[in-house]
Structure 1
């Protein structure tokens, strides 16, 4: 079976999200910073009258924070009725990935990223890290930003 995904980059690494979870891809807009939210929450933006928490996906994955500029797109995803904006470094393509080729990542001790990865899919010479939105968005502290 084929799954369609949007691929994007963070720190030179290739990631994918199921296209059915994506509401839109929008240009960067300044965020309103909130006190007391997790470090990976950059702030919130107004999305057609709704408050949208915007996550720095690089920080959420345990990497360096993104110095966001107008070149950084925001991917708006929805999972189980919750919408979040994800700051990424670049959006690449829509690709079809054979779900039979997706392999489970090896869990490394205290490596925060593998808990957010649903699997690894070969795509030519590269590997696409397929994000698990359920675990990515699971944080009670995020509700403070919504």
Structure 2
């Protein structure tokens, strides 16, 4: 192998290792999660919602955000993480997904984290015990671990069904 080909191979490897994605880190219960920062429109403090009759308990209601009616989902309730408390640390992450705006209540937001591809491990194979369809993987930074969510899949999945499924759009 020539010096030029070794240098080219090293450069390609370095480029692959240094490509990174940014995730917004947030807390749900005792765990830390991350979602693609490009899906986040804004962060807001929790405010009372207008309740919609017959809505599942994890749909807190809707708010008027500058003329747009936004459904507010509490993932703590949906994931059965205990009884939520709403305090000064509770945050609503306003997401822009597939042309729709949705709010997601979380216990708190910590920071934006850039992760190289080698820091993201695939979700564990747990058979049918746990649905990992909504996970991008597990991100590790030193002793810290983030559960990286595919928020589009979660919000359009059969469990929440808030976004039109791409299969239905094609029909």
Q: What TM-score do the two structures reach when normalised by structure 2? A: 0.75
Q: Are 1:60 and 2:75 an aligned pair? A: no
Which protein has the larger Cα radius of gyration, Structure 1 or Structure 2?
2
Aligned to 1:81: 99
4+ long deviations beyond 4 Å: none
Structure with greater proportional helix content: 2
Q: Are 1:111 and 2:130 an aligned pair? A: yes
Does structure 2 conserve the Cα–Cα contact (< 8 Å) formed by 1:22 and 1:75? yes
Are residues 25 and 87 of structure 1, via their aligned partners in 2, closer, same or farther at CA, if it must alter by over 3 Å? same
Relative contact order: is structure 1 or structure 2 higher (C-alpha 8 Å, sep ≥ 6)? 1
Cα deviations across residues 18-69 of structure 1 (Å, max 9, x unaligned)?
1111000011111111112223211111111111011101123343242323
Q: 2:60, 2:81 → 1: CA distance? A: 14
Q: How many residues align?
A: 142
Aligned to 1:93: 111
What is the root-mean-square deviation of aligned Cα atoms in Å? 1.9
Does structure 2 conserve the Cα–Cα contact (< 8 Å) formed by 1:16 and 1:131? yes
Q: 1:47, 1:124 → 2: CA distance? A: 38
Does structure 1 conserve the Cα–Cα contact (< 8 Å) formed by 2:155 and 2:161? no
Does structure 2 conserve the Cα–Cα contact (< 8 Å) formed by 1:61 and 1:116? no
Q: What TM-score do the two structures reach when normalised by structure 1? A: 0.86
Q: Unaligned stretches of 5+ in structure 2?
A: 1-18, 164-171
Does structure 2 conserve the Cα–Cα contact (< 8 Å) formed by 1:21 and 1:78? yes
Does structure 2 conserve the Cα–Cα contact (< 8 Å) formed by 1:8 and 1:92? yes
Aligned to 1:2: 20
